[in-house]
Amino acid sequence: MTAGGATHVVDVQHRYAFVLLGSIQTTLIFTLAAIAVPLPRIGREFGLQRPDLILLSAAYGLAFAGLLLFGGRLADRYGGRRTLAAGLVLFAAASAAAPLAPGIGALVAARFAQGVGAALVAPAAMTVLRVVFPSPTAYSRAMAAWGGLSVLGATAGNLLSGVILSLLSWRWTFVVPLVVAVAALALTSRLLPHTDPNRGRTLDLPGALLATAGITLASYGLVVRDTQPWSSADVFVPLLGGTALFAAFLCAERRARDPLLPTRFLLDQRRALALTAIALSACGTAMAFVVLSLHLQQTRDWTPLQTSAAFVPFAIALIASGRAAGPLIVRYGARAVTTAGLGTGAAGLAFLASTGLDAHRSYAYGLLPGLVLLSAGTAASFGGAAVLATEGVPQQQTGLAGSVLNSAMELGPTVLFAALLTLGNDAWSLAATGIALAVVALLNHRTA
């Protein structure tokens, strides 16, 4: 075989590996978002009250966000492909159990187990990705495309769940993650390279326990805040306990020989701004989906299928912007693309806040421009910020970088979303998120 032919074969192998890993990442976020549309129907079937529905909605995200740091350390310690396979087994088993759940307890447990599996898979996938694309240039291009996959997964979750719900039972929404997980397990050994374990790394179990408990408790308190006042023990106690545990985690990390989250990892100004951009962009997208979905169904009396169809232009603009992000980053740099994406997303949220919730405005003039601007900006900011957040990270810390990146994606919709909703007005919440995006865009531009 000629050198050119061998290079072509390697490029094709790399492309297949990226498609597999990207499909896995997209499915993890699809699974997080796909529960939103079926929630009312699940509630009617099981006779659930609003607190039960909130717990069901949050179970996956609580486990996912709480265990990501530990999942990243496991990937760095035992190797990405091995950790990925273990997480996929758990994720597939939980996805098979969920549609068979006879009641709310079993369904919540299955969703929580899905989140545990996802917390192993997400950082492990990024560890394997680093091996697939060892050169800094190729890895940056891969990360530019990787950044938009989470938003694509969330969009697909909202769109497909509405279609499935209109044609079949809500239980069929769990078939998608099950099929992807089983297919990924079958293809992992064929398409993904072996990743060597790092026997010199320790697991920092005390740090893992403190971080997991702190993030989970605090996130739960913010989720419960949707139905309880701040002064309620159901809100105040988890928030206080979670904050105390996370403070203890930070103190413990300063003394740990091999910390779960080295302090210096987050002190890099470029990385801190990139992670903030990811968290805010994820928050803005989640808020737009929730607020507009409720508005369309409750105020305009749209069906779930019509509501899902309303976000099709969002998905199209997202894919187009995501494909353009890579070449733009190569030409203009990740920082410039991130700044432009944040500004565009801020403009989209401002438009939605001013016109999107006006029931007298048509969809084409009141919602569509804001949705397109938000999706285009989000894809660009995610792509650029993903590159900035992982630049210069040693290969032995790729799992850590993956866990921190995914934590920003998860905590944005959970923590920031819950905090912004306390403003008590959907339009003000959208506007406040847009202002935050604009501020981060300005800071990112000034640090260039």
pLDDT band of 424, cuts 50, 70, 90: low
More confident residue, 84 or 151: 84
271 touches 261 (CB < 8 A): no
What pLDDT, on a 0 to 100 scale, did the predictor assign at position 89? 96
Residues above pLDDT 70, as percent of the chain:
91
What pLDDT, on a 0 to 100 scale, did the predictor assign at position 200? 63
pLDDT band of 331, cuts 50, 70, 90: confident
Residues above pLDDT 90, as percent of the chain:
13
What pLDDT, on a 0 to 100 scale, did the predictor assign at position 439? 82
pTM here? 0.80
What pLDDT, on a 0 to 100 scale, did the predictor assign at position 182? 95
- Which pLDDT tens digit goes with each residue over 249-265? 888 878 777 777 777 77
Highest mean pLDDT: which range of 35-49, 153-167, 284-298, 325-339: 325-339
214 touches 249 (CB < 8 A): yes
pLDDT tops 60 at residue 384: yes
Pair of tokens at residue 212: 């997991």
- Which pLDDT tens digit goes with each residue over 188-210? 988 888 877 776 666 677 877 88
Closest CA to 153 of 180, 128, 171, 131: 180
For residues 337 and 376, give the distance between their C-alpha atoms in angstroms, rounded to a whole number: 11
Closest CA to 441 of 344, 306, 298: 344
What pLDDT, on a 0 to 100 scale, did the predictor assign at position 415? 65
Return phi, psi of residue 43, to 5°. -60, -40
**377-405 mean pLDDT:** 81
For residues 286 and 314, give the distance between their C-alpha atoms in angstroms, rounded to a whole number: 13
- Which pLDDT tens digit goes with each residue over 217-250? 877 777 676 667 777 887 788 888 888 988 888 8
To the nearest 10 degrees (0 to 180), the angle between helices 149-167 and 269-294 is 20
Pair of tokens at residue 8: 């072509």
What pLDDT, on a 0 to 100 scale, did the predictor assign at position 397? 74
- Which pLDDT tens digit goes with each residue over 105-141? 899 999 999 999 999 999 899 889 888 888 877 887 8
pLDDT tops 50 at residue 8: no
Strand residue runs (E) in 300-416 = none
More confident residue, 339 or 4: 339
Q: How far out from the chain centre does Cα 27 lie?
A: 10
Round the average pLDDT of the chain to a whole number and report it: 81
What pLDDT, on a 0 to 100 scale, did the predictor assign at position 3? 46
For residues 426 and 72, give the distance between their C-alpha atoms in angstroms, rounded to a whole number: 35
What pLDDT, on a 0 to 100 scale, did the predictor assign at position 84? 94
pLDDT tops 60 at residue 92: yes
pLDDT band of 161, cuts 50, 70, 90: confident
What pLDDT, on a 0 to 100 scale, did the predictor assign at position 50? 67
